[in-house]
Structure 1
């Protein structure tokens, strides 16, 4: 089983982000342990559940269910695709497909989503420890490609 199988993808929680009110998406504790900087990692409460806020206008990346703790992008070792519009931010964290790289591949024979799928099928992805949302990035890659094709 790999990180992109449906049983490992995390769903929407019932908790709302304390900063913006959007519904969060559950993330595994391993995601926070892998991506938080040391000072932030020292404050997590392993018995709590954490959610990811995907709202691009919100500064909160992770929050716990009782809203007593939040983490912002500055607390993470990596930039967050949903929060950071920079061209060098990964859309696919496992295989380093940045916005810029995806744009360069647009209109060429290179099909990033197909390449990523092949890596996933070969058991090479590690989304739960590489991607701040803690889930498969293919949806983000496909949405970004669709937006490129519209523009």
Structure 2
């Protein structure tokens, strides 16, 4: 299955126990790919997990019943949008960091989103295991680039 194809998973409205914002359900394979061994040893596979995208919230993942949470230090990679540094990937599959997107902005080269779309269409993405959000990175890339144009 194409990692950037629309999915039929039901959208779960689950509030983060720290910030109260609704999170987005992620597959267990995402946690298994993203968590450090010490955190992975504690997952509760019978529960479903949710990603909190609030950049000011310390929690990255939490269980639907709020019995467990994971923070950025529990993950192998820095988490977009949680970590604000320029070297954090916005697109994890093809290593488009904030810095690389900034450098590409305003050039006549092929746009980053177009390059990523071409890779996706060729079946090369693996967002469900590479992106801590467990979902396609294109929305993040497009939003970041739009934000550059508004500045």
TM over 0.5: yes
Number of the residue aligned with 1:107: 106
Residues 2-17 of structure 1: pairs in structure 2 closer than 5 A: 2-7=2-7, 12-17=11-16
8 Å CA contact 1:12, 1:23 repeated in 2: no
Query: How far apart in 2 are the matches of 1:142 and 1:14?
Result: 24
1:46 matches 2:30: no
Task: Report the alpha carbon displacement of residue 11 of structure 1 after superposing the two structures with TM.
Answer: 5.8
Q: Which runs of 5+ in 1 are unaligned?
A: none
Query: How far apart in 2 are the matches of 1:135 and 1:92?
Result: 10
Number of the residue aligned with 1:121: 121
Q: When the two structures are superposed, what TM-score results if normalisation uses the length of structure 2? A: 0.97
- Say what the alpha-carbon RMSD is for the aligned residues: 1.1
Aligned residues: 150
- For residues 86-108 of structure 1, the C-alpha deviation after alignment (integer angstroms, 9 at most, x for no partner) is 00000000000000000000001
Q: When the two structures are superposed, what TM-score results if normalisation uses the length of structure 1? A: 0.97
